[in-house]
Amino acid sequence: MDITFIFFLGLVIALIGVIPPGLLNMTAAKISLKEGHVRGVMFSIGVCVIVIAQTYLAAIFARYLSMHPEVVDILQRVAFIIFILITIYFLFISKSKPQQQLQPKMKSKHSRFFQGMFLSAINVFPIPYQAYMTITLASFGWLDFNQISIISYVSGAAMGTFVTLYTYIFFFEKIKGKSFTSQKNMNYVIGSITGIIAIITLINIIKEL
């Protein structure tokens, strides 16, 4: 399997997971806006350090699950229901409301780096998300669970996370200036993405029946 292709897969999957406005990307943007570009980047690097560990653990967990297809079948059905519910929420229920984030008074570059690590560590969503996505990619034959492939995928995931955080930092003024419109459109984007993932999951379930 081409490691460049696997790297790109990791990058894209991470982009999809981090694109929705949340604590990590909005905090990175606000730090950059209030304290400068360098501190925002240091926060983002701290986030990515934890993402590397989380994605690697997810890949190892996925490798274990790939040897136990009966467990994967159950997880696929649970994931399908979850993605359907998320899709319904973002397309039909979610309302656009400005979110207020608490801003800790931490000034040094090193403190921002460790703040990024801390906030990323308490955000455990990437582990089940990446575990499911790696299993799905493996089911299509796009990903192997050998060490080189895992390292390539993890590197892509870290780069995808950093790219997304840096994009929030760079375009924060525009996002802030169009908070209602951007949030509404983002809800549709998230709902569409999760809807596509739900369809792919359903196809996998049907193929295995």
> Residue 190: pLDDT band by 50, 70, 90 thresholds?
low
Q: How far apart are CA 52 and CA 82, in angstroms?
A: 25
Give me the pLDDT at residue 159, please: 94
Q: Who's near 61: CB < 8 A, 6+ residues apart?
A: 127, 131
Q: Who's near 70: CB < 8 A, 6+ residues apart?
A: none
Share of the chain above pLDDT 90, in %: 18
Q: Which of 74-78, 124-128, 162-166 has the highest mean pLDDT?
A: 162-166
Break the chain into its structural domains and give their ranges: 3-98+107-208
CA 174 to chain centre: 22
**The two structure tokens encoding residue 185:** 């459109």
Give me the pLDDT at residue 44, please: 92
Report the chain's C-alpha Rg in angstroms: 18
Q: Who's near 35: CB < 8 A, 6+ residues apart?
A: 107, 112
Q: Give the number of residues written for the chain.
A: 209
